[in-house]
Structure 1
Amino acid sequence: MRILAYHVQPYEEKAFLKWSKENNIEVVLEKGLLTLDSVEKAKGFDGVTTQQVIPVKDEEIFKKLKEYGVGQISSRTAGVDMFGLDMAKEYGIAITNVPRYSPNAIAELAVSHAMHLLRNVKRIEKAMSVGDFSWNKDLISREIRSCTVGIVGTGRIGLTAGTLFKGLGANIIGYDKFRNPDADGVLEYKDTLEELLKEADIISLHLPLVDDTYHLINKDNIKIMKDDAIVVNTGRGALVNIDDIIEALESGKLAGAGLDVLECETLYVNQKVGLEKIKGTVVEKLMGMDNVVLTGHFAFFTETAVDNLVSISLDNIKKSIETGKLHNCTNM
């Protein structure tokens, strides 16, 4: 069995070598992305894995993989919106993912962003940078135990975030079309998203990106949120209409936004782009706002999560080939 790994990052190499040695399976590491130009490298391999920052939606890629006898792309991600799923299905290419790796990684950053905003850390640092250490009334903050946190999406990550917030003393409410039986004792479910948005001081998003969740947070439902609410998004960038978020931040309707993901993140994520490339973009705008904490898709970026992403994605290929059954498949 031979596996080709596309877009391998230096921080992943240790995990790949570890899995290869433990399973006695050859894994060839390729630094480039899976593209029309690089798909020919998959010839002679039994399976491929990738972590894409650009879409794989060119029909010719799937056509070539089928020609080479590769029936699976194992993505080292939870989300699979970077792939043309219908096109992959048409050519018999399964897209598998890693739905569960380290929920704590994402949940911890969601809590960190919320606390950073709640305690006005960015504004305090800005004042201090010019020698102002005074206890300005605009810098006074709320305690988390006085807040209601609304968890939107109560799967493993959302529930972990709710548990962490609860441990800090917050009141936790949640909304999800599919209620998690493990949520008992952690949060109180609300029947509608609107009900949650009206009650929550902090709204933390933990949903996949599908048609129903695209721009789930927008100007229409921002209006029903509490004044001075905080929105945290560590899910997918397009869960929020970022222009509507910025407008609410500038008007004072929202107190802050903690954003690990943006709809335009392929512009900059995991790249050294320089400031010129983001000049005039929403990224530059958000970076300059005192009430925004912006991180470039770093929520997953822990040693534990990276090891899990690599090993589970490779396990998906190994098990599929050995058993003839697909594991963690999203489109078959």
Structure 2
Amino acid sequence: MRVALLEPLGVSEATIRELAAPIEAAGHEFAYYDEKTTDAAELARRSAGANVVMIANSPYPAEVVRAADALKMIAVAFTGIDHVGLDACRERGVTVCNCAGYSDVSVAELTVGLAIDVLRKVVEADASARTHGTSAGLVGREISGKTVGIVGVGHIGCAAGRLFRAFGARVLGYARHESAAAADAGIEQVSLGQLLAESDIVSLHVPLNDSTRGWFDADKISAMRDGAVLVNCARGAIVDNDALAAALNGGKLSGAGIDVFDMEPPLPSGYALASAKNCVLTPHVAYLTEEAMQRRAKIEFGNVESWLAGIPTNVCAL
């Protein structure tokens, strides 16, 4: 079979070749494209004749899935798969596997980092230090003693909850179903209404799908505690970001730490959150650590090897 890696994975080419060696040793063809592209025609060209396509977080739209006549499996080096043309995969019977778990630690750590940035005014303090300023106006707040609400208590949500607890916070969690893992992490599971009303910091950790797109809207933001902080390292389209900007500018919320947006950065001119008050932005880097890149490359190639051997792993329900 032909296996095609359509974009870089954030690791060295030597690592790519090393991980591909077992696939080639088993008699399969492996092709590697070391430049990222979002052009559908180019993606289709790279996918031509491939039975297995490997991607990261670049869009792989339905039109490309349908054009790839030989395609049987898509290996996604990411946790979310909303950038893949899933309807076309269902139509074609294409298996989609992800790399769940590779960035749990990375995302959880940045979640806490953004909360600290907002509470301790790190961005403003950096600017002050660089411009001969002082500590005036830079009184911060502590995580210790605060209540943190984790919306979505999967692997990443639980990992973030453990970190917040280590700082001395009370941690609440919300999910549609009771979670034994959340209980093991010391997370108190409550209704969404209670979580929003009682939390000083709310952190989002839910996937993007038809039921969560725009789900965290103006009503839910209004239900948050006055002066609370929102952190989003999940998916940008979960949140009504215009409503979030309005809540920041109007003083309903005291701050936000946002790593994900309605689109992949660069953000367009005039994007509401870019000029919102007390909002720390990072350009979708929560997953992006050296350690996570190594983990996901190993998981993705492992997924391909398993599928080729007839024992697929990390298969996503479409």
TM-score, structure 2 as length reference: 0.90
Aligned letter for 1:41? R
Is this contact kept in 2: 1:16–1:311, CA < 8 A?
A: no
Aligned letter for 1:4? A
Q: Which residue among 288, 298, 305 is the counterpart of 1:311?
A: 298
- The CA distance in 2 between the partners of 1:177 and 1:279, in whole Å, is 37
The aligned counterpart of 2:88 is: 87
**Segments of 4+ in structure 1 off by > 4 A?**
22-26
Q: The residue matched to 1:41 in structure 2 has which SS?
A: helix
- Report how far residue 206 of structure 1 moved: 0.8
Aligned letter for 1:93? V
Q: The residue matched to 2:254 in structure 1 has which SS?
A: strand
2:312 paired with 1:329: no
The aligned counterpart of 1:64 is: 67
2:31 paired with 1:41: no
Change (3 A) 1:54 1:24: closer
- The CA distance in 1 between the partners of 2:135 and 2:55, in whole Å, is 50
The aligned counterpart of 2:15 is: 15
Change (3 A) 1:304 1:165: same
- The CA distance in 2 between the partners of 1:122 and 1:290, in whole Å, is 12
2:242 paired with 1:243: yes
Q: How much is the aligned-residue C-alpha RMSD, in angstroms?
A: 2.2
CA-to-aligned-CA distance 1:212-252 (integer Å, 9 cap, x gap): 22222221121121111000000011111100010000011
Is this contact kept in 1: 2:144–2:167, CA < 8 A?
A: yes
- The CA distance in 2 between the partners of 1:63 and 1:57, in whole Å, is 6
Is this contact kept in 1: 2:23–2:30, CA < 8 A?
A: no
The aligned counterpart of 2:285 is: 298
CA-to-aligned-CA distance 1:43-70 (integer Å, 9 cap, x gap): 4444110124335122xx22332x22x2
The aligned counterpart of 1:271 is: none
Is this contact kept in 2: 1:12–1:306, CA < 8 A?
A: no
- The CA distance in 2 between the partners of 1:10 and 1:205, in whole Å, is 26
The aligned counterpart of 2:152 is: 153
Aligned letter for 2:166? G
- The CA distance in 2 between the partners of 1:39 and 1:259, in whole Å, is 33
Change (3 A) 1:134 1:110: closer
Q: How does 1:200-215 map to 2 (within 5 A)?
A: 200-215=199-214
Aligned letter for 1:278? P
Structure 2 unaligned regions, length at least 5:
none
- Report how far residue 22 of structure 1 moved: 5.7
Aligned letter for 2:79? A
Structure 1 unaligned regions, length at least 5:
269-276
Aligned letter for 1:85? L
What's the % identity of the aligned pairs?
31
- Report how far residue 11 of structure 1 moved: 3.7
CA-to-aligned-CA distance 1:160-198 (integer Å, 9 cap, x gap): 0000111111111100113321222511000x2111000
- The CA distance in 2 between the partners of 1:280 and 1:95, in whole Å, is 36
- Report how far residue 135 of structure 1 moved: 3.4
Q: The residue matched to 2:280 in structure 1 has which SS?
A: strand
Q: The residue matched to 2:171 in structure 1 has which SS?
A: strand
Change (3 A) 1:120 1:77: same
Q: The residue matched to 1:278 in structure 2 has which SS?
A: coil
- Report how far residue 280 of structure 1 moved: 2.6
Aligned letter for 1:146? G
CA-to-aligned-CA distance 1:133-165 (integer Å, 9 cap, x gap): 1433xx322211121010111111110000011
Deviates more, 1:161-170 or 1:123-132: 123-132
